[in-house]
Amino acid sequence: SQQGEEDPQALSIQEGENATMNCSYKTSINNLQWYRQNSGRGLVHLILIRSNEREKHSGRLRVTLDTSKKSSSLLITASRAADTASYFCATRHNQGGKLIFGQGTELSVKP
Amino acid sequence: EAQVTQNPRYLITVTGKKLTVTCSQNMNHEYMSWYRQDPGLGLRQIYYSMNVEVTDKGDVPEGYKVSRKEKRNFPLILESPSPNQTSLYFCASSTKGQAVVTGELFFGEGSRLTVL
């Protein structure tokens, strides 16, 4: 299976702390994307990193990609209670191919 | 407001009773897709469509049908629902360019279906 695996499955932190989630995959990718899903809602695209990129920033989000280890991490800095959600990585293994989603990391940020 | 709209959001039905989950997008997107989300299995693609009258199977198409008669609509049809189709369903869309180049998707709010 090409499906990505997220780690940890669940993460609980205090407001203001940083949250780090990891994603590993098995076969080479074209790009890797992170999505957020608030409870009972649809997924929202957060950030995309291409296979030739190593790091990308968007506001309080920082994504890194290590293609040699076939892994990515999503860092949320200075977390807020509103960041409480499930976070999914999705990999694309060739241009024109479908997105393959991992099982997600459930993040809980306590006020 | 740009959005993907699914209906119904919640449905409880019985085995064998045909149902349709509608999906409509107002962004003039060419690409549309259906996913199901199950605990421990993540999101799995059911069907997708690159444009009007063009549909293709995803990873788990058994028991489902789709049609794409208009660009904005992509209904998911369960001809004879069974309990193993109890799931959370998502419709997603993107431009053709996004579908080809990046794969980035815009998701609807989801439809929670229970088949008894």
Pick from A41, A98, A104: CB nearest B42: A104
Neighbours of A69 (CB within 10 A): 9
Question: Mean pLDDT across chain A, nearest whole number?
Answer: 92
Q: Distance between CA A26 and CA A3 in Å, rounded?
A: 8
Taking only Cα atoms into account, the Rg of chain A, rounded to an integer number of angstroms, comes to 13
Confidence tier at A97 by pLDDT (50, 70, 90): confident
From the list A111, A105, A80, the residue with the least C-alpha distance to A11 is A105
Name the residue in chain B with its Cα closest to that of A88: B42
Low-confidence ranges of chain B (pLDDT < 50): none
Neighbours of A96 (CB within 10 A): 11
Predicted confidence at residue A96, as pLDDT, reads 65
| Cα pseudo-dihedral A57, A107, A82, A102, rounded to 10 | 60
Contact B42 A102 (CB under 8 A): yes
